Structure 1
Amino acid sequence: MRSPLPELELFAAVARHGSFRRAAIERKVSTSMVSQAIRKLEDQLGVLLLRRTTRSVAVTAAGAELLASLEPGLRLISDAVEKLNLHRASPLGHLRINAPAPVAQFRLAELAAAFIGLHPDVTVEISAEAAFQDIVKEGYDAGVRFGDDVPQDMVAVRIGPPQRFAVVASPAYLQRKPAPRSPRELAQHECIVRRFPSGAPQAWEFQKRAPGRHVPTGKLIVNDAQTAVTAAVCGAGLTFQHERYVAHALASGALVSVLQVYAPGVGPPYLYYARQRYLPAALRAFIDFAREDTTRSDAKSAAARPRGAPKKQPRNAVAPGL
């Protein structure tokens, strides 16, 4: 009997994700191919492994038993293949990275462009989204989050400086309501609230004098940065945005920055990934490249940085050079 290893790998992916579509994305095949492979495997084994409905996929008792037996073996196979990658002059593979939009646009894009120029056999896929993702469950090789937002069971590597934000409003709005003099006065203003896919509002963070997270309130709620910026230009209220999203509006005078003395912003971005015996060669190469690029950037900006204690790192951060 032919080994059903390809079908078993697809079954494990479906079982992990609870989704044929997500398994197909991970394995880089079509959803119909996944469905056909699972049906073929069930026919070959003579047992139902997955229960399907129009809305969900659930593992049967037999499927759960098979998955528990399969996973150690599949990890050994994956490790064996990755060990062979160590003998290549250049890494080979496909990287999937999940990151917040500002980091994806203003940091990861430049890193990926330079990286694939050095490693043409690697493909890098960047998914920019606000929602927190379980990178293992969703089939990502790595994710990016800020400081304490990095899951504690992950390994983290800093890939950039603290991210600067700005609290801005239109001149027309500030004529109606005097600019806030401290973050505590935000409660007296109309704030444009950005809601994440989880339903939670984005907190406004300040690094100096009154550090901490302030949850805004307001009559306008949006789910993306550009809509919030446009609404602010139209006089709807204050918005908290990455400085590069509002640079042109500030330069033209369409928006005015407030609360600068409190240094609106968040901590440095960290690339994080799951602990594993053998890192995929492409991921290891990207981690090393990002770390080296960050070190060079730090050296260039060292003279311009204000003196003071370094920002707190997440407990799972990896020291440079490890």
Structure 2
Amino acid sequence: MDLPYLRAHPQHLPTFLEHQRIRETPVPGGDVSRASRLTLDDGTSLFTKTWPTGTPPEGFFEAEAAGLSWLSSPGAIPVPSVLAALPTMIALEWIEPGPPSPAAAARFGRELAALHRSGAPGFGASWAGYIGPLPLDNTVSAGPWGPWFAERRLQPYLRLSADRGALTPADVQAVEQTIKILSGYDQSEPASRIHGDLWPGNVLWSADGRGWLIDPAAHGGHRETDLATLGLFGGAPSVDVILGAYQEEYPLGDGWEARVPVHQLHLLLVHTAAFGEAYAAGVRSAAAASHRL
């Protein structure tokens, strides 16, 4: 199998893999999927992800493909090309990794600003989404942002986290207070085209000195969400440089720093819902800070 054949017949890729007709090398790929580097007969490398055991949730890889294509369409920021999106796997162009640098961070900040500025029809998306292993309700809304974010991005993962015992009753009450505040929160900025799961591990720093967007939960959302989540889990390399370059290109609204915790709360709740109480302290801290919104 070479690249032209794959483009013409993507549905044959699993069969070639099953019969070991393609060289496959495991690579790091996140907490959810099994990732590999494939080498085709013409020397082309691909990055593939498959579900580790059993059958993936319906539409899981198709949702990632839809998000990548949507993020790439404005031509604002590097996004890997989708070569095959099948029910059991996704295949993307291979991006050679490289070290991050301040210059790459500044360029990434400018390009992320251009992506956000390209806009979205509303909050949500036209496809059913996933974030990590969990469904993401992308029902489109005209806004306003606060009630939409409370209903679609906080409540579902608060319920899942509570049901699995990852949060204490006091934690749940604190998040519910944030949801109550957001339900009446008036934030008039229109929807932006966002990555939606932009923690530092979902920026791939490449050998060509750029930051690529990978593993999206893409949708129309508030642009501050992407910027806030870049600061989670240790923060992206040169995150201050990213923010500075972004601000020069597309200045943020007054008081954006105070809103960082409420934007981070979504992804932290996803982690307690998917991975358990190890992330409860982060939820607790972000919820408390969000009460000052």
The bucket for the TM-score relative to the shorter chain is under 0.3
Kindly name which structure, 1 or 2, has the bigger radius of gyration based on alpha carbons: 1
Structure showing the higher strand proportion among its residues: 1
